[in-house]
Amino acid sequence: MSRVLIVEDEQHLAEGLRFNLAAEGYQVRLADTGEAALELLAGGSSAFDVMILDVMLPGKDGFTVISELRRAGQFIPTLILTARGHPGDVLRGFAAGADDYLAKPFELAILIARLGGLLRRREWLEARMRNVAAKPGPPDVFTFGDKSFHFGDLELRVRGQAYRLTLMEANMLSYLLQHDGKAVSRKALLEDVWGLHEDTDTRAIDNFIVRLRRYIEDEPAKPRHLLTVRGVGYRFVSSPAKDG
């Protein structure tokens, strides 16, 4: 039985979700503030399998809650509920560490499908980690310069430092690595990585690039691997020329 934590201050909506998710076989716990959710998740416990997180909350908002959790090394798969599906909000949520999003008002069936998707990705990831641990031999690793990205555990290793990426950061980095040396447009990133079909406000994706650069560039302001392609988007280069 999967355990879901619902963080939602609208009591009516929270109770409705509790009822419907319980009917789907979920074990449900409600929290009506971000602070209450942080308390329930403190200590990195694995008391929950997945979290539904409202953005507009009294006190700490959903963006703050998710970024505090990620900073504390708590990687519970999280779907944020945004008031509008505005790409800026959605990307802000992903940049803060969310794994998926749904705009209000939403269809219950879609929410249940998205939760199922998050749980499957988590199971797949755990199975992959077990495989990597069980089988000696080369795990799924992409190496560039003195850095390596370990797909199995979503870890970026840079000279002895390991950074655990969120699912979405890992998806975005994987996408860029797969297109090594080729320019990819912001629109392609939005559509292929996030599944967003919007052609406005794609500049919001730049915040996400800033975040990845902090992990992979020695000097984030002078990127050598993750380059800006003016008027297009970005290009990942695994082996930049020695003198650029």
Residue nearest to Ca ion (CB): 56
Instruction: List the one residue from 22, 42, 56, 110 that touches Ca ion (CB under 5 A).
Output: 56
Q: Which residues contact 216 (CB under 8 A, 6 or more apart)?
A: 147, 156, 158, 173, 225, 226
Integer Cα distance of 199 and 215 in angstroms: 28
Residue 240's Cβ-side half-sphere holds a number of Cα atoms within 13 Å equal to 16
Query: Dmax of the chain from CA atoms?
Result: 61
Integer Cα distance of 151 and 170 in angstroms: 8
Q: How far is the CB of 76 from Ca ion (least distance, A)?
A: 20
Integer Cα distance of 56 and 53 in angstroms: 9
- Residue 213 tokens read as 């650069």
Q: How far is the CB of 61 from Ca ion (least distance, A)?
A: 9
Residue with Cβ nearer Ca ion (5 or 184): 5
Q: How many residues bind Ca ion (CB under 5 A)?
A: 3
- Order of strands across the sheet with 50-54? 27-31, 3-7, 50-54, 78-82, 100-103
Q: How far is the CB of 65 from Ca ion (least distance, A)?
A: 12
The answer to the question of residue 54 lying near Ca ion (CB under 5 A) is yes
Q: How far is the CB of 48 from Ca ion (least distance, A)?
A: 20
Residue with Cβ nearer Ca ion (81 or 170): 81
Residue with Cβ nearer Ca ion (83 or 133): 83
Indicate the DSSP class of residue 238. S
Q: How far is the CB of 8 from Ca ion (least distance, A)?
A: 6
**Binding mask of the shown chain, residues 4 to 43, with x at each position contacting Ca ion by CB under 5 A:** -----x----------------------------------
The answer to the question of residue 169 lying near Ca ion (CB under 5 A) is no
Residue with Cβ nearer Ca ion (103 or 210): 103
Q: What is the dihedral of CA 196, 233, 91, 117, to 10 degrees?
A: 50
The answer to the question of residue 198 lying near Ca ion (CB under 5 A) is no
Q: How far is the CB of 88 from Ca ion (least distance, A)?
A: 18
Site for Ca ion in 83-142 (CB under 5 A): none
Integer Cα distance of 102 and 108 in angstroms: 11
Q: How far is the CB of 49 from Ca ion (least distance, A)?
A: 23
Residue with Cβ nearer Ca ion (47 or 56): 56
Measured in whole angstroms, the distance separating CA 65 from the mean position of its chain's CA atoms is 14
Residue with Cβ nearer Ca ion (78 or 171): 78
Residue with Cβ nearer Ca ion (56 or 232): 56
Secondary structure class of 161 (helix, strand, coil): strand
Residues engaged in binding Ca ion (CB under 5 A) = 9, 54, 56
